Amino acid sequence: SSDRVFNFAAGPATLPENVLLKAQSELYIWRDSGMSVMEMSHRGKDFLSIIQKAESDLRTLLNIPSDYAVLFLQGGATTQFAAIPLNLCQPDDTVDFIVTGSWGDKAYKEATKYSKPNVIWSGKSDKYTNIPSFDSLEQSPRAKYLHICANETIHGVEFKDYPTPKDPNTILVADMSSNFCSKPVDVSKFGLIYAGAQKNVGPSGVTIVIIRKDLIGNAQPITPVMLDYKIHAENNSLYNTPPCYGIYMCGLVFEDLLAQGGLVEVEKKNKKKAQILYDTIDASNGFYRCPVEKSVRSLMNVPFTLVKPELEADFIKEAAKEKMLQLKGHRSVGGMRASIYNAMPYAGVEKLVAFMKDFQARHD
Ligand code: PMP
């Protein structure tokens, strides 16, 4: 509708319009249940059909092998920063981190409480603008896992391929919160993938964990029951009351992604959107600047600065007047950031790019 804005927020973020309209049409009464999804028992057949369909559509989308469990959890990706070492390590076990931004750094810090993590590479001294070449990395022998953040939401740095742990017993763990379902991923390369839903696949409150089944069942004795993957896997994510409505919304998004032709098609759209935005930045003769190394620029979060920082407030204000919201960069890095997740239409990025060119023409 004409009242909707283009929302460039990093998360919670824009959702597909047709998904919102479908949810609206089912909000009051879901199918023939006589009630809203929010009012249903999580153990009744209607909700069971919703969560099972959501899981099976996600499995189709990401081609998830059958020896992987899919868990719908709560607590955000932040809770997984603790749950992962608690489930995969004993307190003295070594784990490796490649830190390419603030989220990887937070995951590392939390892991120090429950394991012995090493940062084997950090991009901090370059203000998190790149990703290392994997060959040169000194990985710890016998590390339980190697942790990466597949897309750093604040810094706009995205892995385009993935490191292979040197020790065959070390698994790769990835925080995919901000690029989940934005492109095809070979799940079998990972021991564990996790993502908060509120960027690409739904509202906040749902966290998805995809874990190879043989890794489940070794949690440290102090692990709270709510963080124990075994408990959730044995109970099909229904050990306690799950975030029912959020799972329903994720299910609608998965249906929509499948209807678009799956993640190969979704990635094509995402590349097109990112391309016109980065091209505009790069062709601006330095008026706009993206600090991230070109080969690892994120398709999801595009940070940029203005050569005249004093114009930033005007940029954001004028964009807002034209119904383009949430373009301010994260408070820790400043500048601007346009988050252009799956649900951001091409028209939204086109409009932003036209605005940027016009703004430059008026202020250069
Ligand atoms: N990891 C990444 C990559 C994120 O972008 C975020 C949230 N912006 C988090 C972790 C933390 O997620 P949550 O707020 O769901 O705990």
**Has 328 been annotated as catalytic?**
no
Task: Note the pLDDT of residue 304.
Answer: 97
User: Closest ligand 1 atom, CA of 78?
Assistant: 16
What is the spatial distance between Cα 58 and Cα 235, in angstroms, rounded to a whole number? 18
The catalytically annotated residue of 144, 199, 273, 328 is: 199
153 C-alpha to center of ligand 1: Å? 8
Ligand 1 atom 14, closest CA: 76
User: Closest ligand 1 atom, CA of 75?
Assistant: 16
pLDDT tens digits in sequence order for the chain, 364 residues long: 779 999 999 999 999 999 999 999 999 999 999 999 999 999 999 999 999 999 999 999 999 999 999 999 999 999 999 999 999 999 999 999 999 999 999 999 999 999 999 999 999 999 999 999 999 899 999 999 999 999 999 999 999 999 999 999 999 999 999 999 999 999 999 999 999 999 999 999 999 999 999 999 999 999 999 999 999 999 999 999 999 999 999 999 999 999 999 999 999 999 999 999 999 999 999 999 999 999 999 999 999 999 999 999 999 999 999 999 999 999 888 899 999 999 999 999 999 999 999 999 999 8
Neighbours of 275 (CB within 10 A): 12
Residue-wise DSSP of 151-212: EETTTTEE-SS----SSTTPEEEEE-TTTTTSS---GGG-SEEEEESTTTTS-TT-EEEEEE
Task: Note the pLDDT of residue 332.
Answer: 86
**Has 30 been annotated as catalytic?**
no
- Ligand 1 is surrounded, with C-beta below 6 A, by 11, 76-78, 103, 149, 153, 175, 177-178, 196
362 C-alpha to center of ligand 1: Å? 37
User: Closest ligand 1 atom, CA of 81?
Assistant: 10
User: Closest ligand 1 atom, CA of 153?
Assistant: 5
Would the ipTM clear 0.90, i.e. be above it? yes
Is the full-model pTM beyond 0.95? yes
Q: Say if strands 301-306 and 207-212 run parallel, antiparallel, or are unpaired.
A: unpaired
Task: Note the pLDDT of residue 208.
Answer: 98
Instruction: Return the best residue to mutate from 84, 100, 103 for the ligand 1 pocket (most ligand atoms within 8 A of CB).
Output: 103
